[in-house]
Amino acid sequence: MKFRRQRIDDGGVNLTPLIDVVFLLLIFFMVSTTFTKETRLQLELPSAKGEVAVEQPQAIEILISAQGRYQVNEQGLPGGDVQALMRAIQKAAGGDTMRPVIITADANSPHQSVISAMDAAGQLGFVQLSISTQEPENAAKR
């Protein structure tokens, strides 16, 4: 009987499983890694240039102090909540929702107070809403 000799491999390393494992690790790290850039925003708030608004005698003016307290037509509110603000706006409007509403807020007033005043006027049906600004300092010096 004649037996064939088996061929002996040359002893090389098969790289296919190694490449598969590395590829799977690469996909895992790409999917699980989050790329967040944590920085602080440097904001420069805009200033408004334009013509000075004409005084409107029938306008409802909402003043917001730096502490977030409201005044409607220079009348202080007994309660500082949004419901008291809505009652004061209704009283000042006398049922006329076509009157313009001007919100004058201190530069340091909480943003939530301004949004609450806008929301209160919107819920009551006022559509002519404006926010008063001041002229920038360097433009005033010219």
Q: Is 48:55 a contact under the CB 8 Å cutoff?
A: no
Q: What length is written for the chain?
A: 142
Q: Where are the domains of the chain?
A: 60-140
How much is the pLDDT for 46? 47
Calculate mean pLDDT across residues 58-82.
Answer: 82
Q: What is the pLDDT of residues 25-38, one digit of tens each?
A: 999 998 888 776 65
Q: In the β-sheet with 129-131, what is the strand arrangement from edge to edge?
A: 75-76, 70-72, 60-64, 101-105, 129-131
27, burial (CB in 10 Å: exposed 0-12, middle 13-18, buried 19+): exposed
Q: Using 50, 70 and 90 to split pLDDT, how confident is the model at 56?
A: low
**Tokens 């490449």 label which residue?**
19
pLDDT exceeds cutoff 70 at 44: no
Measured distance CA(96)–CA(124) in Å, rounded: 10
pLDDT digits (tens, 9 = 90+) for 88-135: 888 888 888 888 888 888 878 888 888 888 888 888 888 888 887 776
Burial 86-100 (b: 16+ CB within 10 A, else e): bbbbbebbeeeeebe
Tell me the two tokens of residue 118. Answer: 């806008």
pLDDT at 66: 80
- In this structure, CATH architecture of domain 60-140: 2-Layer Sandwich (3.30)
The Cα 71–Cα 115 span in angstroms is: 15
Write out the E strands in 1-142: 60-64, 70-72, 75-76, 101-105, 129-131
